[in-house]
Amino acid sequence: MFPLQILLAYIVLYLLPSNTKSEFISYNLCENNTAYARGSTFETNLKILFTSLIQNTSKTGFFNDTLGNIPDRVYGSSLCRGDISASNCTNCITTASQNLPQLCPYDRGAIVWYEVCMLRYSNKYFFSDLDVDGYRVDNPQNWSDPYQFEQAVVEMMSAISRAAVQSGKMFSTGMVNLTVSDSIYGLVQCTRDLTGDQCLECLNTSMQILEEYCYGNVLGLYQAHSCMLRYETDKFFNSDPFLIVSAPVRINFPPVKISPPPQATAAPEEPSKGKGKKTVPIALGIGIPFVLSSALAIILLICLQRRKSRNRLEEKNIQELKGRKSLLFEFSTLQEATEHFSDLNKLGEGGFGPVYKGKLLDGQEIAVKRLSKGSDQGLSELMNEVQFLAELQHKNLVRLFGVCMEKEEMLLVYEYIRNKSLDTLIFDDESRRKLNWEERLKIIKGISRGLLYLHQDSAIRIVHRDLKAGNILLDENLNPKISDFGLARLLGGDHTQSKTSKVVGTYGYMAPEYAIHGTVSTKVDVFSFGVLILEIITGRSNSSFSGTSAGNLLNYTWEHWTNGTATELIDPSLGDETWLNDEAVRCINIALLCVQMTPNERPNIFSVNLMLTRKRMQVPPPSSPAFVFGDSGIDDRDFEISDNSTSRSSVKYSNNEVTCTEPYPR
């Protein structure tokens, strides 16, 4: 499920001894930045920062502050768990600020976590930055039925994560009943400098990490830089659970051991005695009355669920009918909206036809793509596809509103994005200079999240096949939005097969196995994404290298990489600061992993996303990228894609990466 080897190396493991609820849990990480001197301005700023955090955090449970001027500026933030009192919050932050300078002496960056609070400072700006690095506490005692346990935990944690974001408090608690007498309690919280989406992503990733390492354990805690998540069979927080979640209906009954014969007087509650007990074996030694009553309860639950879901289904059908209708646009409407497809409204010419800007009568701005030729699909089939694609909603995807099919014409109606496409920004000398490193990184991460959604999180798996700078649109806040996804599906491309005779795509971005054999997998998009990252960092398009001695961007990058001159690849207009160079070279490393020749060696987008969001996660060294097509030395075996190439376990890294301390050559 997970790139185990990578995570093992970076997740700090800290086991909480069982039955030590009162024992102080604390953990810290030192950033190992340049040391500050005793009595220096930085130290003074840090002290003032701590005072401010101590005084201000308890009001709302979160505070961030900035003190001093560069180079002695210090950024800090502190978070208290949402269920503790103001005085307990202040106490915890006070303890943290007293201990941290001893835990990481003279370090210009550090973080410490306690059970109910967190304190962090750094000389580097970190607000609004999603950071999933953290540590994990678990209790190796297992629930007797780990599957049941895990399902209930995931159900509850997802529900309270959404509740936390919706409430705006970035904090929520919950409970789910596991059996008649046992419950699981959960708590989630994010730092409030994150957006709702970032918070959900942080909690989701943290939960996946716990699922990987603490499957079925009666206690799980993950504290990241940006969020925390905890569940336990004992109630560990100080308030009533905010959300009570009903346990998922079990399909498989736990194995029930009938012999030895039950005592006639066995009371159903007996198995769970004291409160402090963590494991409650329900499969063993439970009387028949209990089994019967729980079976009855489950049947009742199923019936109730059914009734509920039927109502929901009917409601959904009506909604769908309403929705479907509005997906179909009339030609005259679009003609009017675009002023008869006037050249003045033309936004550009894509691979599939021109795109026009339009405005509907209700004022909604749209972009209309006029495809050159009708599809050979039937209308109902097409509507199905449009319906699917219209349901894909993610902030890093351009929304498809609908379609129009009349008079041999086929038009697609999209949301209108004000800013230009990425290629007009990064390949233009003037505009490129205005894009700083943070903005470029934001664009890279956004594209990776959009791809993650297409490849893994949406209801249907979609391989874009034509990912390139021209297909990335930017809104006014420079949020990237992937456009033209699903076009291959929509236009009747043979998407169910892993091989296609119709190779669509753009030279320079195409993975070799796709260009040569037409083999389609999500790794095709990973390859294109790697090229895109390199273009964003260098500010040079892949095509601008034709005719040069390197021949293409990948070759050029690889030459610098192996010569230890990777920093020379970075767009000079970004400046020459050490931290920037380090981050950019790390991104180049990730990009090189994406463009490796063998699809199975390329990481999947989940791993790429993880490497981009977890700064302290080491990135394995790349092997040489795929070069110009038709290069000698291309072996068909290089193109083999194993069955699980689209699942998360496909990242194959060498074992020695764990001990590799030099992430890239210098």
Ligand X SMILES: *[C@@H]1O[C@H](CO)[C@@H](O)[C@H](O)[C@H]1NC(C)=O
Burial class (CB in 10 A: 0-12, 13-18, 19+), 89: buried
If the CB atoms of residues 5 and 142 are measured against ligand X, the closer one turns out to be 142
User: Minimum distance from CB of 176 to ligand X (Å)?
Assistant: 8
If the CB atoms of residues 237 and 653 are measured against ligand X, the closer one turns out to be 237
Q: Which contacts of 202-208 are long-range, i.e. CB under 8 A and separated by 24 or more positions? A: 202/130, 202/132, 202/226, 202/227, 203/157, 203/161, 203/164, 203/227, 203/229, 204/158, 204/161, 205/132, 205/610, 205/613, 206/132, 206/134, 207/154, 207/157, 207/158, 207/161, 208/2
User: Minimum distance from CB of 139 to ligand X (Å)?
Assistant: 9
User: Minimum distance from CB of 600 to ligand X (Å)?
Assistant: 24
If the CB atoms of residues 452 and 594 are measured against ligand X, the closer one turns out to be 452
If the CB atoms of residues 193 and 406 are measured against ligand X, the closer one turns out to be 193
The H or E element containing residue 401 is strand 400-406
Count of alpha carbons within 13 Å of 644, Cβ hemisphere only? 9
Instruction: Count Cβ neighbours within 10 Å for each residue of 447-480 and write b for 16 or more, e otherwise.
Output: bbbbbbbbbbebeeebbbbbbbbbbbbbeeebbb
- Is 576 marked active-site? no
User: Minimum distance from CB of 160 to ligand X (Å)?
Assistant: 10
Q: What is the 3-state secondary structure (H, E, C) of 147-171?
A: HHHHHHHHHHHHHHHHHHHHHCCCE
User: Minimum distance from CB of 226 to ligand X (Å)?
Assistant: 11
If the CB atoms of residues 54 and 595 are measured against ligand X, the closer one turns out to be 54
User: Minimum distance from CB of 452 to ligand X (Å)?
Assistant: 9
Cα radius of gyration (the chain): 28
What does the binding site for ligand X look like in residue numbers (CB under 6 A)?
A: 29-32, 51-52, 55-56, 64-66, 84-85, 88, 127-128, 140-142, 146, 154, 157-158, 177, 181, 183, 193, 204, 207-208, 215-216, 238, 244, 457, 616
From the candidates 129, 131, 138, 466, which is the catalytic residue? Answer: 466
Which string of DSSP letters, residue by residue, matches 88-139? HHHHHHHHHHHHHHHHSTT-SEEEEEESSEEEEEESS--TT-----EEEEEE
If the CB atoms of residues 57 and 345 are measured against ligand X, the closer one turns out to be 57
The residue number with the shortest CB distance to ligand X is: 193
Catalytic residues: 466
